[in-house]
Chain A
Amino acid sequence: MLQGKKVIAVGERDGISGPAIAACAKAAGADVVFVATECFV
């Protein structure tokens, strides 16, 4: 599903962080085009 896709990783500090999502996406064969982690506290 993610193979060859361009992934936008929007993570949250209290959930799954951007870099963690990006690492998963890369391992799944996607190209990560944007990574961010939000923090609401």
Chain B
Amino acid sequence: MKWRRALGPLSLAAAVASASWSWSRLEALRSGEPAGAQVLYLPSGKYLKIISLGYPEVMADIIYIWSIQYYSNYDQSDRFKYLEHIYGGVISELDPRYVDPYLIGAVIMSTEANDDEMALRLLDKGIAANPDEWILPFDAGFLCYDRLKDYPRATRYFEMALESPGAPSVVKRLHAEMYNKMGDKRASLEYWKEVLEGADSDYVRNVSSMHVHDLTIEADLETLRRAVASWRSRYGGTPPDLQALARAGLTDSVPVDPEGNPYRYDRSTGEVTSQSRFKLRRRVGE
């Protein structure tokens, strides 16, 4: 009778041991495949939305949280295979207003998968679904500026960001700087002046005033050098002084630099330089 009484607990212990052993065997069989990898093969979010029965946002949350764990697993060398599908085809379709996956997805695409165009496609999708979110075009603009060095494209994105409500002053600053990068010193100067006028902190006031200072000198030098070149082609030789350029109608006037010093002119070479030092360029080594 005693062994009969022990039969129950023994069976239970055997069942627990079997379950534990078979579970570890199954885990060993799928070693190398990260947990939840089957999410990669999900159909488009358009179809998932139908079966979500009114809970597409929660479904998007779950897949987004999973995606962070999956894409931060560096043991998985081919993990970027379905990257665009997961962010652009599943999460953003389930919850188009969810901004974080656009931003994080774009970072993974750009810095991890080295596919900037894929990142921009995702951000474009996010911008179309969230026209009031300045961060999305800002992110796209920064990617074009920082990684692609495509300044005209970056400018377009920063302009989009500026049209969105709540865009912080950093967007204005980068927008102004893009014109400088494109070589349009005058336009950049005008935008930097706007930043200076609307400065909301000492930091912004300080930075923008240095940009205005340097760009004023650069723009003036550019104008004066162009006028000297026009003099050369019109009269041959160099002008006697900078005032001669104004008298000949090659410049509107002869400017002085932001510190009130006249620009230096070397008649023998026709070179125009500034007496005042650049405040920012020297500091950043340009």
Q: Do A and B come from one complex?
A: no
B residues lining the A interface (CB < 8 Å): none
A residues lining the B interface (CB < 8 Å): none
